[in-house]
Structures are given as C-alpha cells and as structure tokens.
C-alpha cells in the first residue's frame, strides 16, 4: 500500500510523531510538511493520513485549504485524520472545525496525538500565551499537554 502523510507543525512535535508513524508502517510512506512543500498529486497513493497541530483552536490554513481543494479525491482513499491537540477537552469541536464533514465521515480513524509545550523553541508571543495557559491549568489542577502514544498505535494498526 502506498501511503502519504501530509502534516503541519510549528514546533516539530507533530513532525516527530509522523516520522514515528512512517517508520512503524514499514511500507512505502511519503511524508510532506505542508509548511515547507506543496503535496504531490494524490492519485498515486492508496492511503492518506492528514493532520496538524492546533493553535488557538485552529489548524494551519494551508492544510485546511488542501483538505477542501482535495475533498473528493480524499474521500476515495483510505483516510486517517489526526490533530496534535495539547488541550483535548474540545477535541470534537477542533475536528469539526479543521476538516470538511465528508472527510470526518469517510475517515477510517480520527485520533489526537496529544501535544507538548516547548517553551524554549517558542516565539515571544507564544511563550507569553503558554505561560498564562500553564498558570491557569496548574491553578485549576488540570493536566498539562502530553504526547498520546496510544493514538499512534491506533493509526499504525489501521494503516499497516
Ligand atoms: C500559543 C499556543 C496556543 C495553543 N492553542 C491550543 C489550542 O487552542 N488547543 C490545543 O489543544 N492546544 C493548543 N496549543 C498546544 C499545541 O497544540 C501543542 O503545543 C502542540 O504540541 C504543538 O505541536 P507542533 O509542535 O507540532 O506545532 C497551543 C500552543 C501554543 C504555544
């Protein structure tokens, strides 16, 4: 099975997770970071795994547009959708906001890879927001973002 993974990332958490997925699939997998390159035509692929990280409730605009432009083709493939969502409380809302309804219905799997707050890599603005987020979460006794390895296992089981 020929698989393509199209993803977006800002601080490389998602990049690292999709490389893990590609390595575990042990088949012909093409990885495309949509922030850096335009994905090729999807015709040559049997399976497509798509997703990216969530910032202030939104996924990357280019990834969102790619899903809309290729909606019909994506619906004809074996499809997996994921988000890297550090704060999973509103995960259903984030999925509904990120992907067209038809893709959400036709996807074989939808998973949250979790997230990490990499303060040392962040822009000044993101660092300020994140520090406030951490304070508020700690005050409420909530959980800080972590990776979700079971989501990776779920994806791998379906696309292996
Ligand atoms: C400024 C900022 C805003 C964020 N907003 C959200 C959010 O709305 N929802 C969420 O679940 N996670 C949010 N996160 C957490 C990111 O999704 C998490 O850090 C993720 O691992 C980033 O992945 P990346 O390194 O692949 O871009 C936010 C992080 C930052 C720094």
Structural domain for 22, as ranges: 2-117+145-159
User: How far is 77 from 160, CA to CA, in rounded Å?
Assistant: 15
Q: Is the CB of 87 under 6 A from ligand 1?
A: yes
Predicted pLDDT of residue 58: 97
Q: How far is the CA of 81 from the centre of ligand 1 (A)?
A: 17
Q: Which residues pair with 82 in a beta bridge?
A: 51, 111
Ligand 1, closest atom to CA 88?
Answer: 11
Whether 41 is covered by a domain: the verdict is yes
Tokens of 19: 């490389």
Report the pLDDT value the prediction gives residue 29, as an integer from 0 to 100: 97
Q: How far is the CA of 97 from the centre of ligand 1 (A)?
A: 15
Report if residue 61 sits inside a domain: yes
Closest C-alpha to ligand 1, atom 28: 55
Q: Please check whether residue 108 lies inside any domain of the structure.
A: yes
- CA distances 160 to 6, 21, 29, 48, 92, Å, are 17, 10, 11, 12, 26
* 91 within ligand 1 shell (Cβ under 6 A): no
Domain with 103 in it: what CATH number?
A: 3.40.50.360
Residue whose C-alpha is closest to residue 62's, from 108, 10, 122: 10
Give me the tens of pLDDT residue by residue for the chain, a chain 160 residues long: 899 999 999 999 999 999 999 999 988 899 999 999 999 999 999 999 999 999 999 999 999 999 999 999 999 999 999 999 998 889 999 999 999 999 999 999 999 999 999 999 999 999 999 999 999 999 999 999 999 999 999 999 999 9
Domain for residue 57, yes or no?
yes
Phi, psi torsion values for 132, nearest 5 degrees:
-65, -40
131 occurs within a structural domain: no
Residue 111 lies in a domain: yes
Q: Are 14 and 113 in contact (CB under 8 A)?
A: yes
**Looking at the chain, how many residues does it have?**
160
Under a CB-based contact definition with an 8 Å cutoff, are residues 15 and 61 in contact?
A: no
Which of 53, 116, 152 is the pocket-test mutation for ligand 1 (most atoms within 8 Å of CB)? 53
Does residue 139 fall inside a structural domain?
no
Cα of 114 from ligand 1 centre, angstroms: 9
Residue 35 has what pLDDT?
Answer: 96
Establish whether residue 120 lines the binding site of ligand 1, counting it when its CB lies within 6 angstroms of any ligand atom.
Answer: no
Distance CA 160, CA 156 (A): 6
Count of structural domains, the chain: 1
128 falls within a domain: no
Does the beta carbon of 11 lie inside 6 Å of ligand 1?
yes
Q: What is the pLDDT of residue 160?
A: 93
Residue 84's nearest CA partner among 5, 24, 2 is: 5
């Amino acid at each position: 099975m020929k698989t393509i993974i199209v993803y977006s990332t800002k601080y490389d958490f998602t990049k690292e997770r999709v490389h893990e997925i590609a390595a575990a699939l042990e088949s012909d997998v093409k990885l495309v970071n949509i922030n850096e390159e335009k994905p090729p035509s999807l015709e040559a692929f049997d399976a497509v795994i798509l997703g990216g990280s969530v910032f202030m409730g939104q996924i990357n605009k280019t990834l969102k547009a790619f899903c809309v432009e290729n909606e019909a083709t994506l619906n004809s493939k074996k499809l997996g959708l994921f988000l890297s969502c550090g704060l999973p409380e509103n995960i259903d809302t984030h999925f509904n906001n990120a992907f067209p309804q038809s893709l959400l219905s036709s996807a074989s799997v939808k998973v949250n890879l979790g997230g990490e707050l990499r303060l040392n890599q962040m822009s000044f603005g993101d660092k300020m927001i994140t520090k406030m987020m951490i304070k508020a979460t700690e005050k409420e006794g909530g959980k800080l973002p972590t990776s979700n390895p079971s989501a990776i296992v779920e994806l791998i089981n379906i696309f292996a």
